[in-house]
Structure 1
């Protein structure tokens, strides 16, 4: 990540404020006039000019190449421009252009280094067009480094400088950033227009239903009539206000309360109802919930006929995979349904069917995104042998290739006795030992040769049970791979904070539900007092029940506004084109037997 980014951004903004207040500062000077010529003509003239004029002409040629949509040529030209031959304003342009080219190459850290050049210490003294470009480059670098609040602040500062289409695009980009901020960022003390944007974000984020969101926007508009967002409400909020507000009054909760899935169903039910009672306690008017036992249902047709006769507006369930598959094959459903599982098809089902579950594939995709953001590029994978491991590996590989990464090798975890051999094969240790043996034979002498693992592996993707993971980490150390970062799914974590159990997992990064990572969540504390098991591995099911309740009144919004994100207890929830709820999970790392939550990336 970019070190000291937030501090430097604040210092630069303070410099901008200083430049805009008190005694006016003299401008840094306009850019020298360059001939109205093509890039080739500018370069030809540069070759015939003095060093100072040549540097100015090449800078103009590089900037023109970039403006004409040829960043590769611009990057080649600007490498030939010595900054010491340029004036201060020209140095600012060169630094901004280098930053823009770095962002084009997806290198935000390099971009930020260019943006720290002394010529950019007082942005407010630069010509207006350079001020705009500097702010936009800063905002993009911050956003790509996941510093979303600082990126928002940068765009808010730039807003008064913009007009026309760029102003409109920046306005929408500000809201896009605000909508992605977490709760802590939204409540960060702020002033001026930024404070207004953040309170608008809170008004929308904290509302549990479309009606409550619409009312929250209206209250905000009344309290902030002159704010830029009030004068020009961002497009997603305009669409949100236009959605029909149809109160949800009656829900059917369809779960198998008998048989093998009964324990799972009870956890889901108790989580769902805890959210219901919490809504009551906070002054809301929750819909009536009627529980149906899916093991007693003769047919889905009969169930929907009965539910419709009782005025049910939404069905939450079923949980059984075969029933979800049956629903997915129907042309349409008489009632909107949020199934609590996924069928095996990647195809869209009836328009009224939504699917939600704790899919391991979500975590595999999250691991691919997280590792890429952390700078990893080459992976190996360890997954359990069998159908589940194959699905997780396929999802990881798909997501990893989409990011641009390379999967070098994968092994299926089999019997523990074979684990050491499998990891040795994964890191090609046996080839290293064979090379050492051949060298001994050629030289005819004995010497100490420590096996060397392959050096092209950036990290290991791991999907494993707690017991498997506890065996894997020490084995990696034994096989000379203990320093290789490990990114794992939540399946290695039992929910226990016992340092003894976690010791063998030291260093592993893993995704997990906010429910299990946040020990001080008031709702979790309340639920755990009644159901202590909600703090352990079963807690994920309680969290899923709570999120099913949160999703229930907002399915239409998710469908109408695909950019909508719901910050739930199982992760940040969004809707795919196939109407499946996808989760983005936070990440943690085990250090010295303790769990430390890692800074969030927002995708």
Structure 2
């Protein structure tokens, strides 16, 4: 919490304090020097400063940022020794990192780097930890992990354990290819070995058995490494997960009716992963396949699955059926549903129900976080009319505002052939033309005029299918917004490279499943086996692959809240309601094709 100060007051006070802080050298003193009012810096004043600093530090640790900001202002008005100035800068940086103001925190850290000659060893250590946090707040995960690895030897055992887990979380935010590239640049070092272990876990092509084998080999090669002594991110559970995986599962999918193609794609992806493991000689479960369309009562399907010896149910897909399941107190068998029920419809869900799907809301949250990390602050939003668009917008809006972003305007557009009226209104081009017409009428003479778009926004969040996006993106440029970055959900990409049609989408950034962006051997096999390829159902094939691989890993995700499984649909994590969330890979259209974005 932020104490009793409104956010507006806190931000204003933050700016006041940082302005004063940047001029700190003008009022610095050393022990025994004369202060600003000409009074000597006495022992009692030093004790008073120390008490105030301890109080501020406690408030920051408790999240009382409003009170801490007021106390810091009082501290800044006092006479401070060089060492106390270091403490003031440390506390100020901690305040603004905690208040999600990394830009201001960076100014304090920059000042701090110039005063480290006066810092105690304890202050040097805190400065390094704050610097790592600042890197993380800016999405510079490699720099953060390197900083944390460098300082780890100076930490006490409890701090070291927390720091090692944070190193792991930082590395897990980086793509596998970059981890491998940096590992090659840092051979035979502790940090290089961190990178190699992280690359193993980030490899979305590995089965559970392959992951276990690779980690075991790494551990044998690096027995003295801190991560070998205590495996991070739930890796220590891999052997137990492999030994206790289900030996019989029921796959409950719609294999007839309106969702037949959806169910068939998930089934084929699931079985592709099944046969891949079988061909490699790994343990596989017995699979019982049921057409959910043939069961009017899902309890009958559960009864049949139990009769057949199934230990788990994977499915159903239908949202209404999943919603009905989450309203029960318990289920006959533990279940990995392949869709999500509405949170608002159930206060609690059965302890043995897990929900996994390709939720567009996860993508909206990820886009908000990426845009913020990229330094963007004020958005225009275009989403389609209807419940689906509203759900995506709600998820985006909540996360964007939490981060501190602003929304200049949002438009819920209808499906039409001409999006120019909507976009002109969104960009206020109409207002520009009206002002010109008014001026021309008042002056009663012709004047030079060039329409302008609004200048109070710095990016566009677009939710659109390919055929819509191919019209919207050029129309933005036509209305003088060609310089605005455009970010989109994965729906902007059909899943099949089409440079001719997608050239109009050049520059659009979006995040999509690794299955489409990292061509794997399994992807190529499925593409070859399907008569017409995977087409627009490719993401559902990926979902089937991950349903197979995810089931034995659910315990790991549940026991270790920050652990992830890196699969064909993205980095998968489990929340406290046992709902799977995804983080996907980010890319950008260049020459009409998706191309991986460079990471910092």
1:340 aligns with 2:329: no
Which blocks of at least 5 consecutive residues in structure 2 are unaligned? 1-27, 61-67
1:443 maps to what in 2?
Answer: 443
TM-superposed deviation, 1:372 = 1.9
Please list, as runs of the form range in 1=range in 2, the aligned pairs for 1:55-70 lying within 5 A after superposition: 67=57, 69=60, 70=68
Cα deviation per residue 1:151-191 (whole Å; 9 max; x = unaligned)?
22211211222236544433443344345444235442343
1:227 aligns with 2:225: yes
| Counterpart selection for 1:169 from 154, 162, 168 | 162
- Taking structure 1 as reference, are residues 139 and 358 closer, same or farther at Cα in structure 2, changes over 3 Å only? same
Separation in 1, partners of 2:136, 2:298: 47
SS of 2:258's partner is coil
Separation in 2, partners of 1:169, 1:46: 42
Which blocks of at least 5 consecutive residues in structure 1 are unaligned? 1-30, 36-41
Separation in 2, partners of 1:415, 1:216: 49
Please list, as runs of the form range in 1=range in 2, the aligned pairs for 1:220-299 lying within 5 A after superposition: 224-231=222-229, 246-299=244-297
1:45 maps to what in 2?
Answer: 35
Bigger mean CA offset, 342-351 vs 430-439 = 342-351
Cα deviation per residue 1:27-50 (whole Å; 9 max; x = unaligned)?
xxxx99747xxxxxx9x8343279
TM-superposed deviation, 1:517 = 1.8
1:193 aligns with 2:190: yes
- CA contact 1:92–1:120 (8 Å) conserved in 2: no
- Taking structure 1 as reference, are residues 235 and 508 closer, same or farther at Cα in structure 2, changes over 3 Å only? closer
- CA contact 2:385–2:413 (8 Å) conserved in 1: yes
- Taking structure 1 as reference, are residues 125 and 287 closer, same or farther at Cα in structure 2, changes over 3 Å only? farther
2:24 maps to what in 1?
Answer: none
SS of 1:139's partner is helix
Separation in 1, partners of 2:230, 2:275: 38
Separation in 2, partners of 1:72, 1:502: 53
- Taking structure 1 as reference, are residues 384 and 447 closer, same or farther at Cα in structure 2, changes over 3 Å only? same
Separation in 2, partners of 1:588, 1:202: 19
2:563 maps to what in 1?
Answer: 564
Separation in 1, partners of 2:448, 2:550: 62
TM-superposed deviation, 1:143 = 1.9
- Taking structure 1 as reference, are residues 534 and 317 closer, same or farther at Cα in structure 2, changes over 3 Å only? farther
- CA contact 2:311–2:334 (8 Å) conserved in 1: yes
- CA contact 1:486–1:509 (8 Å) conserved in 2: yes
Separation in 1, partners of 2:198, 2:599: 18
Separation in 1, partners of 2:482, 2:79: 45
- Taking structure 1 as reference, are residues 564 and 419 closer, same or farther at Cα in structure 2, changes over 3 Å only? same
1:452 aligns with 2:452: yes
- CA contact 1:473–1:504 (8 Å) conserved in 2: yes
1:553 maps to what in 2?
Answer: 552
SS of 2:480's partner is coil
Separation in 1, partners of 2:412, 2:229: 58
- CA contact 2:201–2:566 (8 Å) conserved in 1: no
2:372 maps to what in 1?
Answer: 372
1:307 aligns with 2:281: no
Please list, as runs of the form range in 1=range in 2, the aligned pairs for 1:52-201 lying within 5 A after superposition: 67=57, 69=60, 70-71=68-69, 74=72, 100=94, 103-104=97-98, 106-108=100-102, 127-163=120-156, 165-187=158-180, 188-189=183-184, 190=186, 191-198=188-195, 200-201=197-198
SS of 2:251's partner is strand
Bigger mean CA offset, 177-186 vs 440-449 = 177-186
- CA contact 1:356–1:581 (8 Å) conserved in 2: yes
Separation in 1, partners of 2:118, 2:92: 20
TM-superposed deviation, 1:544 = 0.8
TM-superposed deviation, 1:532 = 6.5
TM-superposed deviation, 1:287 = 1.2
TM-superposed deviation, 1:586 = 1.9
SS of 1:537's partner is helix
2:461 maps to what in 1?
Answer: 461
Please list, as runs of the form range in 1=range in 2, the aligned pairs for 1:419-438 lying within 5 A after superposition: 419-438=419-438
1:486 maps to what in 2?
Answer: 486
- CA contact 1:357–1:581 (8 Å) conserved in 2: yes
- Taking structure 1 as reference, are residues 488 and 141 closer, same or farther at Cα in structure 2, changes over 3 Å only? same
Separation in 1, partners of 2:154, 2:392: 48
Separation in 1, partners of 2:490, 2:307: 42
- CA contact 1:211–1:245 (8 Å) conserved in 2: no
Cα deviation per residue 1:119-158 (whole Å; 9 max; x = unaligned)?
669x899752343134223322222222223322211211
Cα deviation per residue 1:78-121 (whole Å; 9 max; x = unaligned)?
69999xxx99x999888867755664554546656776779669
Cα deviation per residue 1:211-265 (whole Å; 9 max; x = unaligned)?
8877877776665444334556669567888889523111111112112222222
SS of 2:335's partner is strand
2:64 maps to what in 1?
Answer: none
TM-superposed deviation, 1:273 = 1.0
